[in-house]
Structure 1
Amino acid sequence: MNDDKLKNTLTLKLAEWACAVDESQLPSDVLKIASHSLLDWYTMVLVGWNEPAVANLRRYLNDEPGAPQATLLGSNSLASLTHAALINGISGHVLDFDDAHLPSRVHPSVPLWPAILALCEHQGLSGKQALAAFVIGVEIQTRLAALMGESHYRLGWHNTATLGSFGATAALGWLRKLTPIQMCHAFGITASQTGGLRSSFGTSCKPLHAGRAAANGLFATGLAKHAFDAQSAVFDVADGFPALYADETFPDAVIQKDGNWDIRQVIFKYHASCYGTQAPVEAALKFNRPDFASVSSVRVGVETQYLSVCNIQTPKTAAQARFSIRHMVALALEGFNTASQHAFSSECLTDPQIAAWRERIAVYGDAAIARANSSIDVEFTDGTQQRVTVDASRPESNLERQQHRLCEKSAALLQDLYIEGSEKILHDRILGIDKAPDLHGWMEDFRVWESQHRRNQHEHTNTGE
Structure 2
Amino acid sequence: MSDSKPDRYITRMLAEWACETDVSMQPEDVLAIARHSLLDWVTMVLAGSHDPAIARLRRYLDEENGAAGPATLLAGGARVSSTHAALINGTAGHVLDFDDAHLPSRVHPSVPLWPAILAFGESNGVSGEKALAAFVVGVEVQTRLAALMGESHYKLGWHNTATLGSFGATAAVGWLRGLTPLQMRHAFGIAASQAGGLRAAFGTSCKPLHAGRAASLGLFASGLAAQSFDAEPSIFDVDGGFPDLYADQTFPDAVAQEEGHWDIRNVIFKYHASCYGTQAPIEAALQLGKPSLESVGSVRVGIENQYLSVCNIQTPETAAQARFSIRHMVALALHGADTASQQAFSHECLADQQIAAWRERITVQGDAALGRANACIEIAFTNGSTERITVDASRPESDLERQRQRLCAKSRALLQDRYAADSLDGLHGFILNLDNVADMRTWMDDFRAWERNSRLIQ
Instruction: Identify the TM-score tier after normalising by the shorter chain.
Output: over 0.9
The letter for the 2-side match of 1:112 is L
User: Residue 34 of structure 2 aligns to a residue in which SS?
Assistant: helix
Structure 1 ranges of 4+ moved more than 4 A: 2-8
How much does 1:67 deviate? 4.6
- Residue 154 of structure 2 corresponds to 153
Alpha carbons 2:8, 2:234 under 8 Å: kept: no
CA RMSD of aligned residues (A): 1.2
- Residue 57 of structure 1 corresponds to 57
- Residue 461 of structure 1 corresponds to none
Q: Return the alpha-carbon distance in structure 2 between the equivalents of residues 428 and 413 of structure 1.
A: 17
How much does 1:25 deviate? 2.4
Q: Return the alpha-carbon distance in structure 2 between the equivalents of residues 6 and 184 of structure 1.
A: 17
How much does 1:407 deviate? 0.3
The letter for the 1-side match of 2:106 is R
Correspondence 1:254-333 to 2 at 5 A:
254-333=255-334
**CA offset digits 1:218-263 (Å, max 9, x no partner):** 0000000001001110000010000100000000000010000000
Identity %: 69
Q: How many residues align?
A: 456
Alpha carbons 1:42, 1:92 under 8 Å: kept: yes
Correspondence 1:29-44 to 2 at 5 A:
29-44=29-44
The letter for the 2-side match of 1:372 is A
The letter for the 2-side match of 1:344 is F
TM-score, length of structure 1 as denominator length? 0.97
- Residue 202 of structure 2 corresponds to 201
The letter for the 2-side match of 1:224 is A
- Residue 373 of structure 2 corresponds to 372
User: Residue 300 of structure 2 aligns to a residue in which SS?
Assistant: strand
Q: Return the alpha-carbon distance in structure 2 between the equivalents of residues 280 and 219 of structure 1.
A: 39
- Residue 98 of structure 2 corresponds to 97
Alpha carbons 2:8, 2:238 under 8 Å: kept: no
Q: Return the alpha-carbon distance in structure 1 between the equivalents of residues 359 and 445 of structure 2.
A: 47
- Residue 116 of structure 1 corresponds to 117
- Residue 248 of structure 1 corresponds to 249
- Residue 346 of structure 1 corresponds to 347
How much does 1:65 deviate? 2.4
How much does 1:5 deviate? 6.8
- Residue 462 of structure 1 corresponds to none
How much does 1:69 deviate? 1.1
Q: Return the alpha-carbon distance in structure 2 between the equivalents of residues 67 and 216 of structure 1.
A: 20
Q: Return the alpha-carbon distance in structure 1 between the equivalents of residues 398 and 73 of structure 2.
A: 33
User: Residue 269 of structure 1 aligns to a residue in which SS?
Assistant: coil
User: Residue 422 of structure 2 aligns to a residue in which SS?
Assistant: coil
Alpha carbons 1:38, 1:109 under 8 Å: kept: yes
- Residue 14 of structure 1 corresponds to 14
The letter for the 1-side match of 2:198 is L
Q: Return the alpha-carbon distance in structure 1 between the equivalents of residues 366 and 111 of structure 2.
A: 29
The letter for the 1-side match of 2:275 is C
Q: Return the alpha-carbon distance in structure 2 between the equivalents of residues 281 and 241 of structure 1.
A: 37
The letter for the 2-side match of 1:245 is Y
- Residue 162 of structure 1 corresponds to 163
The letter for the 2-side match of 1:172 is V
How much does 1:66 deviate? 3.7
- Residue 463 of structure 1 corresponds to none
**Greater relative CO (CA pairs within 8 A, separation 6+):** 1
The letter for the 2-side match of 1:20 is E
Alpha carbons 1:6, 1:233 under 8 Å: kept: no
- Residue 357 of structure 1 corresponds to 358
Q: Return the alpha-carbon distance in structure 1 between the equivalents of residues 267 and 25 of structure 2.
A: 20
Q: Cα distance 1:219–1:248, how it changes in 2: closer, same or farther (>3 A)?
A: same
**CA offset digits 1:320-378 (Å, max 9, x no partner):** 00000000000000000000000000000000000000000000001111111000000
Alpha carbons 1:6, 1:232 under 8 Å: kept: no
How much does 1:385 deviate? 0.6
The letter for the 2-side match of 1:86 is L
User: Residue 421 of structure 2 aligns to a residue in which SS?
Assistant: coil
TM-score, length of structure 2 as denominator length? 0.98
Alpha carbons 1:284, 1:332 under 8 Å: kept: yes
How much does 1:182 deviate? 0.3
Alpha carbons 2:169, 2:214 under 8 Å: kept: yes
Q: Return the alpha-carbon distance in structure 1 between the equivalents of residues 456 and 72 of structure 2.
A: 19
- Residue 454 of structure 1 corresponds to 455
The gaps in structure 1 that reach 5 residues or longer are 459-465
**CA offset digits 1:9-66 (Å, max 9, x no partner):** 1100100000001112210000000000000000000000110111100000111124
The gaps in structure 2 that reach 5 residues or longer are none
Q: Return the alpha-carbon distance in structure 2 between the equivalents of residues 419 and 167 of structure 1.
A: 35
The letter for the 1-side match of 2:383 is D
Alpha carbons 1:297, 1:361 under 8 Å: kept: yes
- Residue 422 of structure 2 corresponds to 421
Q: Return the alpha-carbon distance in structure 2 between the equivalents of residues 26 and 192 of structure 1.
A: 31
**CA offset digits 1:70-112 (Å, max 9, x no partner):** 0100012210000000000000000000000000000000000
Alpha carbons 2:170, 2:217 under 8 Å: kept: yes
How much does 1:8 deviate? 5.3
Correspondence 1:113-192 to 2 at 5 A:
113-192=114-193
Residue range with higher mean Cα deviation, 60-69 or 148-157: 60-69
Alpha carbons 1:165, 1:194 under 8 Å: kept: yes
User: Residue 387 of structure 2 aligns to a residue in which SS?
Assistant: strand
User: Residue 62 of structure 1 aligns to a residue in which SS?
Assistant: helix
**CA offset digits 1:128-170 (Å, max 9, x no partner):** 1000000000000100000000000000000000000000000
Alpha carbons 1:6, 1:12 under 8 Å: kept: no
Alpha carbons 2:3, 2:234 under 8 Å: kept: no
- Residue 405 of structure 1 corresponds to 406
